[in-house]
C-alpha cells in the first residue's frame, strides 16, 4: 500500500506545537498573530509593531552591508509618493498578495503560502534595490499571516487586516524619512 503524503502544516498547527525546520529547532510565531477572535484594531496595532521593529533592525543591518542610498523616485512629487506609498501600494499589493495566498494555500497549505508570499514580495521589491528586497521579507511575512488568519472571517476582513498593517508600516517609514531628512 502506498504511503500517504503528509499534508503541509497549517498556521493553527504551528501555533499549537511549532514546526521543526532544518537547523532551526521549533519555530512558533507570537500567538496573537494567529488569533482573529479579538478586535481587529488591537490586532493591527500589535502586528504593525511586530512588522516594523524587526524590519528596522534588519533594514539597518542590510543598509550597512549594502549601502545603496535613498530610493530614487524620479520626477514624481514627494507628496504623490507618500500618498501612493501609504494608500495605493498597500491596497494594490495586498490584493495581489491575497490572490497568491489563496491559490497557494489551496494546493500547498498556509505555511507554504505565507513563506512563499514573503519571499516573492522580497524578490519583487528587490528588483529596485537588494536592500529593499531583503528588508521587506519580514513585514510581508506578517502581512501574509494577517491575511490568512483574518480571511477565516471573510476575504474582506483578510484584506482589511493586511492592508491596514501595511499602510501603518509604510506611514511609519515615510514619517521617519521625513523627520530624518
163 inside domain: yes
C-alpha cell at 100: 497568491
Pick from 58, 54, 158: nearest CA to 99 = 158
156 inside domain: yes
The answer to whether 27 and 4 are in contact (CB under 8 A) is: no
Count of domains for the chain = 1
What integer is the mean pLDDT of 66-93?
81
53 inside domain: yes
The model's pTM: 0.82
29 inside domain: no
Sign of CA dihedral 86, 92, 95, 101: negative
Digit-coded pLDDT (tens) for 31-55? 788 888 889 999 999 999 999 999 9
Q: What residue numbers bound the domain in which 85 lies?
A: 38-180
Reported confidence tier of residue 3, pLDDT bands at 50, 70, 90:
low
> Quick one: pLDDT at residue 86?
94
> Quick one: pLDDT at residue 180?
81
Q: Is the pLDDT of residue 74 over 80?
A: no
Amino acid at each position: 500500500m502506498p504511503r500517504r503524503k503528509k499534508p503541509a502544516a497549517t498556521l493553527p498547527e504551528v501555533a499549537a506545537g511549532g514546526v521543526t525546520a532544518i537547523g532551526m529547532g521549533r519555530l512558533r510565531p507570537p500567538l496573537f498573530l494567529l488569533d482573529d477572535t479579538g478586535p481587529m484594531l488591537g490586532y493591527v496595532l500589535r502586528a504593525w509593531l511586530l512588522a516594523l521593529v524587526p524590519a528596522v533592525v534588519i533594514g539597518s543591518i542590510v543598509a550597512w552591508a549594502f549601502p545603496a542610498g535613498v530610493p530614487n523616485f524620479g520626477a514624481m512629487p514627494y507628496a504623490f509618493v507618500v500618498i501612493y506609498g501609504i494608500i495605493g501600494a498597500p491596497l494594490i499589493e495586498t490584493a495581489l498578495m491575497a490572490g497568491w495566498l489563496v491559490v497557494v494555500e489551496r494546493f500547498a497549505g498556509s505555511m507554504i503560502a505565507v513563506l512563499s508570499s514573503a519571499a516573492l514580495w522580497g524578490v519583487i521589491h528587490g528588483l529596485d534595490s537588494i536592500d529593499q528586497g531583503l528588508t521587506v521579507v519580514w513585514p510581508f511575512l506578517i502581512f501574509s499571516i494577517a491575511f490568512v488568519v483574518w480571511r477565516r472571517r471573510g476575504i474582506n476582513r483578510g484584506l482589511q487586516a493586511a492592508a491596514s498593517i501595511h499602510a501603518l508600516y509604510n506611514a511609519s517609514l515615510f514619517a521617519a524619512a521625513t523627520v530624518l531628512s
